[in-house]
Amino acid sequence: MDDAIAVFARNMQAPSLGDAAYMALKDRLTRGVYRPGDRLTVRSVAEALGVSSTPARDAINRLAADGALVYAGPKTVIIPVLSQQDLREVTLIRIAIEGLAAELAVANCMKEHIDKLVEIQKKINSALDRKAFGEALWHNKEFHFLVYELSGLPRLISMIEIQWLRVGPSFYDLYPAFAEDRRGVRNHEMALEALVDRDGGALKAAFENDIREGYRRLRHALTARESQIPKS
């Protein structure tokens, strides 16, 4: 799970240290490393990324400007909790653009890509078996974005990343339910079959179904969280 962070760290040359820290923290948010409501400080981010306080502060400031973090003090930020309206909006956008990216991916998919996806799915299955949900989420992003990148449309990928940045921390609420019924696994298996068959429509449907089923679970978890908030 630390491989991506190690890659960012190796690329952290002085002129681009702030950019590398931003990308590393952004990646951790989209992979569900942090949860809604978690508090981050400049020090904790610097320690997690292995950088000094200056690039860590820059990364926090940029992600706050992106709306991925909310200030709770001069040196502390909070991972925001999505509202029901926000969650619905993100889901509708994801279905539209991730379905498109998946459908277009078929034309550029080779055997080596399918083999790589199979290996990633094995890692996801192993993590779910061990109830290592954070690890499963880490590899889940790898699976999705390997397919999306095959669309060959970098601006579309950037649009998808923005939505994952918003919803990524909420992905923890998929578990343990998603691990018990393996809905996500089934959708990924359908995606692999569609890639083998070179069926863009089926691949699009598999990813759209994955997003819809995730939405239902996240909506349920959010409703449960809202019910626990004391009414004034």
Q: 17-71 pLDDT, tens per residue? A: 889 999 999 999 999 899 999 999 999 999 999 999 999 999 999 999 999 999 9
Q: In this prediction, what percent of the chain has a pLDDT beyond 70?
A: 92
Q: Is the dihedral of CA 22, 28, 32, 33 positive or negative?
A: negative
Q: How far apart are CA 11 and CA 94, in angstroms?
A: 30
pLDDT mean over 66-82 = 91
pTM of the model: 0.86
First to last CA, the chain: 42
pLDDT at 177 over 90: no
pLDDT band at 12 (very low <50, low <70, confident <90, very high): very low
CB 148 within 8 A of CB 157: yes
CATH number belonging to the domain at 3-78, selected among 3.90.226.10, 1.10.1740.10, 1.10.10.10, 3.40.50.2000: 1.10.10.10
**What are the strands of the beta sheet with 39-41, ordered from one edge?**
39-41, 76-78, 70-71
Tens digits of residue pLDDT in 94-143: 999 999 999 999 999 999 999 999 999 999 999 999 999 999 999 999 99
In CATH, the number for domain 84-227 is 1.20.120.530
Q: How far apart are CA 133 and CA 77, in angstroms?
A: 24
Q: How far apart are CA 83 and CA 6, in angstroms?
A: 33
Question: Which DSSP symbol is given to 109?
Answer: -
Instruction: Return the domain boundaries, the chain.
Output: 3-78, 84-227
